Every structure is written in structure tokens, then in C-alpha cells.
């Protein structure tokens, strides 16, 4: 699932290239991605709207449009956005420009395309079809802000530490988007490994010093991942179809052996998601 580094990378890329363009038309072959409103009305609303701004709230990408409309996109488990050109045949989209978008199989599962007044169009690629799109006015943004915490890189240590006073596993707290947003499986595992904390440890058991170490390690890892344009060991790709490079630097997520002690990495399911950790190094 795209996490904060992947979303920040995507937003920066799109802002530099399609901000101030107009949406000329909309296509989909996966109607249930449009959650609110349904596709026919969504298409009517989006046509001829100008993209005024692009930003994110945690894992959500927010397009601010003309006439006080907003489009909110969540890429879920396997979605990513692409800038390209496609032709539609038998209600399927096929890339017509050579390069990573055409050559990488991960970039071929187009579900939604916004045709723009620009040399490229904006496509949503999602092999599992779990992505979601919401369109509305200011109330939609207010609803999102009410239910989603601030981006992790924008919070203070004090706000982070207050979220730890819960009888829940630390991995669960790190991934709770209501506390702070943007952290998922990859970067929670990486920060816990760096801090030598077991993902099953109850958050309330972390003293202030250890919590501070975890907080600083998470910030450091997120910033490094952003500088490397995210992790592409699964579905995520940059909008130009290329891969992010953090996957080459990860220490524990989906690794076989610990980068610190060489021990075999263990995998445990927490909240229906697999967590990777070193049973020898992560002793707290």
C-alpha cells in the first residue's frame, strides 16, 4: 500500500506537471471505485474543472478543483497514479507511449483515466481494484480531516507520545490513521527494527526515552524514503512509471535475514497484516 513517502512523491510529481490543467473527460471500467457520488454524476461534475492544487492528508491525495469541488483519492493496497497517454479499446485502456508505463506489467491495470488539457493524461492503475474516489465540496474535506490525524512528519513528539498510552500493540498504534497518518506496514516495520522494538510490545510499556528513539527513527526513515521516491517492491510506481528506490535500503520488511545480526526474520500477523521483525534484535 502506498504510504506517506509514496504519496508525497506522487503529489510533488503531479503538482509540477498537471496543476492548472483542465479535466476534459473521464473514463473508467471499474465503476465501484467511484464511492461518492457514483460514476455518472462524478463524470458530470469533473468535466471542465480546473486542477487548482494537489496535496495530501496522510495516504489520501486531494485534488482541489474549480467551483469549490474536491476530488479525494485513496490508492489502497495496490493503486498508483500514472501520467501517460492511453487508447480505449473494448473498454480497456492501452498505453500508446513507449517507456516504463508501457513496459512494466505493474503499470497496465488502468481503472480510471482523467483526460486533461495537457500533453499527458492522469491514470489510476490498480491490479486489485480497491482504490476509492470521493468528490464533493468543503464538507467532504472537513469530514476527512475529522477522521484522519495529521501527517506523521508534522506532529510533535508530545502528540506522538500521548498516542502511546493505550493497551494496544505498538504496531497497531503506529498504523492507526486517526492518531497520525501516513504510516503503514513497510515503514512501521522499518522504524521498529531500527529502534529494536518488537511489534507485539504494548505501546503503553514504552518509556519516554524509548518512545523518543522510535519517534526520531520514524522521522528519519520517512525522510530517507521520500528522498528515494518511495518503495516499489510490490505495486507502487512513480507517475512516470519508474520505481522508487527505498526497497533496496530496507532493513527488515520482507527480508529473509536480519541486516544487523543475520538471524532469520520472523513474520507475524497483527490486525490481519503481516509484520516482519528480528526475534533476536528487537528485544524491547
Compute the C-alpha angle 223/205/146, nearest 5°: 55
- The answer to whether residues 258 and 265 touch, using CB atoms and an 8 Å cutoff, is yes
Q: Is-catalytic flag, 196?
A: no
C-alpha span between 236 and 206 (Å, rounded): 33
Known catalytic residue: 3? yes
Residue entry with cell 512494466: 104
Q: Is 5 helix (H, G, I), strand (E, B) or coil?
A: helix
Backbone angles phi, psi at 276, to 5 degrees: -110, 135
Q: Are 177 and 59 in contact (CB under 8 A)?
A: yes
Annotated catalytic residue within 49, 59, 111, 251: 59
Q: Which of 3, 6, 190, 194 is catalytic?
A: 3
The verdict on whether omega for the bond into residue 37 sits within 30 degrees of 0, i.e. cis, is yes
Identify whether 166 is a catalytic site residue. no
**Is-catalytic flag, 279?**
no
Number of H helices, E strands in the chain: 8, 13
Quick check: 2 and 75 in contact, CB under 8 A? Answer: yes
Helix (H, G, I), strand (E, B) or coil at 219: helix
Provide the residue count of the chain.
284
Which residue out of 219, 255, 259, 273 is catalytically annotated? 273
List residues with catalytic annotation: 2-3, 59, 273
Amino acid at each position: 500500500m502506498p504510504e506517506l513517502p509514496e504519496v508525497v512523491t506522487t503529489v510533488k510529481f503531479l503538482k509540477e506537471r498537471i496543476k492548472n490543467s483542465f479535466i476534459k473527460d473521464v473514463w473508467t471500467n471499474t465503476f465501484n471505485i467511484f464511492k461518492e457520488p457514483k460514476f455518472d454524476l462524478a463524470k458530470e461534475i469533473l468535466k471542465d474543472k480546473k486542477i487548482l492544487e494537489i496535496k495530501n492528508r496522510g495516504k489520501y491525495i486531494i485534488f482541489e478543483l474549480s467551483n469549490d469541488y474536491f476530488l479525494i483519492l485513496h490508492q489502497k493496497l495496490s493503486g498508483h497514479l500514472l501520467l501517460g497517454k492511453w487508447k480505449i479499446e473494448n473498454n480497456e485502456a492501452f498505453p500508446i507511449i513507449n517507456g516504463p508505463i508501457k513496459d512494466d506489467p505493474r503499470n497496465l491495470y488502468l481503472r480510471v483515466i482523467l483526460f486533461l488539457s495537457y500533453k499527458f493524461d492522469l491514470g489510476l492503475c490498480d491490479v486489485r481494484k480497491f482504490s476509492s474516489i470521493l468528490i464533493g465540496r468543503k464538507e467532504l474535506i472537513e469530514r476527512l480531516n475529522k477522521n484522519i490525524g495529521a501527517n506523521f512528519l508534522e506532529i510533535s513528539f508530545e502528540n506522538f507520545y500521548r498516542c502511546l498510552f493505550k493497551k494496544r500493540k505498538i504496531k497497531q498504534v503506529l498504523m492507526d490513521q486517526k492518531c497520525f497518518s501516513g504510516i503503514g506496514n513497510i515503514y512501521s516495520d522499518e522504524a521498529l527494527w531500527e529502534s529494536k522494538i518488537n511489534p507485539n510490545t504494548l505501546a503503553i510499556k514504552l518509556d519516554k526515552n524509548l518512545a523518543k528513539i522510535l519517534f526520531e527513527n520514524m522521522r528519519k526513515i520517512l525522510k530517507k524514503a521520500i528522498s528515494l521516491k518511495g518503495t516499489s517492491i510490490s505495486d507502487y510506481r512513480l507517475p512516470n512509471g519508474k520505481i522508487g528506490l527505498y526497497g533496496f535500503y530496507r532493513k527488515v520488511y520482507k527480508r529473509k535475514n536480519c541486516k544487523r545480526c543475520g538471524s532469520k526474520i520472523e513474520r507475524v500477523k497483527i490486525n490481519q497484516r503481516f509484520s516482519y521483525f528480528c526475534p533476536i534484535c528487537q528485544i524491547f
